Structure 1
């Protein structure tokens, strides 16, 4: 089969489009012939070696949707030809609060979805939402699950609450926006792009603030009041601004740090507000089931920015790395 394989660190340019041996499912596994895959920031970080436990060579890619092509022994809940999506979280465990010590994510060290075929445990295979296209279905799993857990499981969002989503435009942030609107929250966003803010309003945001503008934090606080819930994947020095924006007893849920570590916490701002800062990463199989149910009930459609062919994966990762996308970036495989 054709696949995109990373054999050495050094950025997206190190990815190679090659012929590799097709995998075969073992007991408890299924083989999926992929229609589409989708990119995540995780994939780009791995190419630079900026991800924990990088093991090479690996076929990258956590997101994918396709048709079951073969079934291993002891699999009786699927049949060949079933249309499916893949939960990329492997070996989470039985405790929804935390993952097992051997938890990992499809696409390194386990070979992933930048390929014509992928093998996964049957417990990670779920029916594709019928109303979604193949491309939309492939764009859903990792970012959709991350957003669901951050907003609903950890964030405990309630109808009527004020929710802030920094850095609108990425896959998780856009799912957060759509899910929060579906829950009846009052959602505000930030971005360095006025165009992205306007597009977020079309998806239900009540307003947005450009963080390159002078005094934007004070202006935001004056306009929206204080935020009951902030869900952040940006991190960096701007995290202290989010603490300023948070309400008394408010919550901040953090799921990423694309801008790097937070340089300095001013602790009194946290404890005098009686606020919570909660961390989250991906989610459990039960939450994946809940996420799919939520998406189906509210008929949410992933926002797709642009699609590339599998052969164009290097170009696709470089495009993601420039940060101008609004929505998910996908790879057409079939």
Structure 2
């Protein structure tokens, strides 16, 4: 089978499209013919986390396809069913944090940028009927991350004002759609005027520049929740703009991981600071129900063939996308 494989060198230099052994479904597993797969920033990090002396690795966490084989003991899904992959391995119930042993598809095990994959049967769910293959293939990781950080962690409610710095990411666009569906007012930021404009078309109530003076731009707003994913470049601005008693929840850092904060402002302001990552199987099912009830679809930026992986990765690395990037794996 064809697969995007990382081996031998760090970063993009170790990435290639090559023939790889096709997997078979063992006990409790399902074999999936992938139709589409989704590219995430995690895949960029995997290129450096997967070491040169480790065995070749098929990367990729998101995907959707058709079950073609089931192993012994599998009862929740049958061959021929159209499914979407839950990339979180070993986190069943909605708990305060992932359990020991929690992993994500695509490292350390093989991922979705291939024609076939085998996974535990509990990691597949029925493909939402309102999504086409490209939309289903890019959904899971970003949508689950957005769902947990917004609902489980930040506990958004109708009437809240939510600020989303850096609207270009897949998670950011899901945050916008989820918050609007929950009845919140949404403010987004971007360095790109084009992304600001498009975010307004997707339902944002206000869009401002990431590099502007937020206190001046938002002097007439009361920000209840900030969902942070940029890190050092915006973190202190996020803490300064959220209302007293408000919440800053973070799930990532596209700039430096290490941040400095005004701790006196933090404790006098009675602020809440929350971390979040991915989500449980329980939340994954809740998220799928939520998007079906509200007819939510991913913002799809572009679709590439597997042999165009270099273009796709460069586009994501340079933050040129608004929404998700997909790979078309099968016709």
Structure 2 length normalisation: TM-score? 0.96
* Partner SS for 2:5: strand
1:331 positional shift: 0.2
1:217 maps onto 2:217 in alignment: no
Asked whether the equivalents of residues 93 and 99 of structure 1 are also in contact (C-alpha less than 8 Å), the reply is: no
* Partner SS for 2:257: coil
Q: Deviation per CA, 1:95-150, whole angstroms, max 9, x where unpaired?
A: 52211211110011110100000111111110000110000001110000000001
1:14 maps onto 2:22 in alignment: no
Aligned to 1:168: 167
Aligned to 2:273: 277
Q: How does 1:76-95 map to 2 (within 5 A)?
A: 76-94=75-93
Instruction: Give the Cα separation in 2 of the matches to 1:15 and 1:262.
Output: 29
Q: Deviation per CA, 1:183-214, whole angstroms, max 9, x where unpaired?
A: 0100000110111011111111111111234x
Aligned to 2:62: 63
* Partner SS for 1:223: coil
The one of 282, 303, 307 equivalent to 1:307 is 303
* Partner SS for 2:249: strand
1:37 maps onto 2:37 in alignment: yes
Instruction: Give the Cα separation in 2 of the matches to 1:92 and 1:259.
Output: 28
* Partner SS for 1:152: helix
Q: Deviation per CA, 1:229-276, whole angstroms, max 9, x where unpaired?
A: 111111113200000011111011100001112431211111111111
Q: How does 1:1-334 map to 2 (within 5 A)?
A: 1-49=1-49, 56-94=55-93, 96-213=95-212, 216-224=213-221, 226-334=222-330
* Partner SS for 2:245: strand
1:227 positional shift: 1.1
Unpaired segments of 5 or more residues in structure 2?
none
Cα RMSD for the two superposed structures: 1.5
Unpaired segments of 5 or more residues in structure 1?
none
* Partner SS for 1:113: coil
* Partner SS for 1:228: strand
1:8 positional shift: 3.0
Asked whether the equivalents of residues 230 and 242 of structure 1 are also in contact (C-alpha less than 8 Å), the reply is: yes
Q: Which 4+ residue blocks in structure 1 deviate beyond 6 angstroms?
A: none
